[in-house]
């Protein structure tokens, strides 16, 4: 998300320090793995009241994630044009501590990716963060934002295909009990997860998941694994195949196609740069303290 230069620097450094402190236990985990991101083409003026509204939303998202796995906020500016809407949601099986780390990481990365953008969205494996100057809260949106498929292998095993379809069917309807935004299902080595954004009603969630499942079957066919992310819900399954980063990805807010490899390389460069700067800061701080002790 777009933040002021000071906020970006602070959040980026916090994100780096968070990476260092959790690297040994959460490497390649839900809070580290990028899925998709996008920024609106419309920009705001640095130092404007809209920037203050964005910063307020970002702070609210990060703070709230320490206590809950979903929340949304509206920051009303001095004018309607300065109003900002934002939300975050963590994967249903993510612990609160990991959720808070994931949201903080997302805010840090969006602050770098979407500099001065009026809207931005980032999906990591474990959480989703979005903000915009046009309300999207409570609005059903089935726009495809990311779709990826593995190699076509399970089609040679009719039993595997049957189990895949059974897993997807459960994800679409649930177990008939209380409405849940997050669902998971397993059949043999086939696993599936689905989730709706928390501002959707039960009917809107099922409608969104039904479309996502239908598109996933059409697009991925007999692939060993597949992901279908719509703007307000997603469905994923894997049959043991190794996931790659190939697939189609879309920019948020403008509908233009985007090469997934380019996003991954860009994000890797940004995160690598943040890590390098952070290591340099820590190293210089260590040297400074060392020499100060030596002079006493």
- CA-CA distance, 88 to 121, in Å (whole number)? 10
The single residue listed with the structure tokens 């964005």 is: 54
What are the pLDDT digits (tens) for 202-236?
A: 999 999 999 999 999 999 988 889 999 999 999 99
50-107 confidence digits (pLDDT tens): 999 999 999 999 999 999 999 999 998 777 788 999 999 999 998 888 999 999 999 9
Beta strands, E only, 91-232: 120-124, 127-132, 144-149, 182-187, 190-196, 225-230
Q: How many CA atoms lie within 13 A of 42 on its CB side?
A: 10
Residue 10, phi then psi, degrees to nearest 5: -65, -50
More confident of the two residues 277 and 160: 160
Using CA atoms, how far residue 196 sits from 53, 88, 116, 289, in Å, is 26, 12, 28, 50
Which residues fall within 8 angstroms of residue 25, CB to CB, at 6 or more apart?
Answer: none
Please state, in angstroms and rounded to a whole number, the distance separating the CA atoms of residues 135 and 137.
6
pTM of the model: 0.73
Q: Which of 125-134, 242-251, 252-261 has the lowest mean pLDDT?
A: 252-261
Mean residue pLDDT of the chain comes to: 77
The angle formed by the CA atoms of residues 196, 73 and 227, to the nearest 5 degrees, is 25
Burial classification of residue 207, based on how many CB atoms lie within 10 Å of its CB (0-12 exposed, 13-18 middle, 19 or more buried): middle
The CATH class of the 144-248 domain is: alpha beta
Number of helical (H) and strand (E) elements in the chain, helices listed first: 6, 12
Q: What digits encode the pLDDT tens for the residues 176-211?
A: 778 889 999 998 888 999 999 999 999 999 999 999
d(CA 211, CA 235): 10
**What residue segments make up the domains of the chain, in order of their start?**
5-137+256-295, 144-248
What pLDDT score does 155 carry?
A: 58
Looking at domain 5-137+256-295, its CATH class is alpha beta
């Amino acid at each position: 998300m777009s933040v002021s230069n000071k906020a970006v620097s602070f959040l980026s450094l916090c994100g780096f320090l968070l990476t260092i402190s959790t690297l040994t236990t959460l490497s390649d985990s839900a809070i580290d793995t990028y899925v998709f991101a996008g920024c609106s083409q419309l920009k705001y003026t640095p130092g404007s009241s809209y920037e203050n509204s964005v910063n307020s939303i970002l702070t609210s998202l990060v703070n709230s994630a320490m206590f809950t796995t979903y929340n949304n906020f509206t920051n009303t500016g001095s004018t309607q044009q300065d109003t900002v809407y934002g939300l975050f949601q963590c994967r249903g099986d993510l612990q609160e501590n990991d959720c808070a780390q994931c949201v903080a990481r997302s805010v840090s990365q969006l602050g770098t990716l979407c500099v001065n953008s009026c809207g931005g969205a980032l999906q990591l494996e474990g959480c989703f963060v979005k903000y915009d100057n046009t309300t999207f809260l409570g609005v059903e949106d089935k726009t495809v934002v990311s779709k990826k498929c593995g190699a076509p292998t399970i089609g040679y095993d009719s039993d595997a295909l049957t189990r895949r379809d059974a897993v997807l069917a459960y994800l679409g309807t649930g177990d008939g009990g209380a409405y849940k935004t997050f669902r998971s299902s397993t059949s043999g080595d086939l696993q599936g997860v689905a989730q709706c954004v928390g501002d959707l009603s039960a009917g809107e969630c099922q409608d969104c998941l039904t479309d996502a499942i239908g598109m996933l079957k059409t697009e991925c066919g007999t692939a060993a694994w597949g992901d279908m992310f719509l703007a307000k819900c997603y469905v994923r399954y894997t049959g043991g195949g190794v996931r790659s980063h190939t697939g189609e990805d879309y920019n948020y807010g403008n509908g233009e196609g985007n090469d997934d490899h380019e996003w991954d390389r860009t994000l890797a460069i940004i995160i690598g740069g943040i890590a390098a700067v952070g290591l340099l800061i820590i190293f210089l701080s260590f040297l400074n303290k060392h020499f100060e002790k030596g002079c006493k």
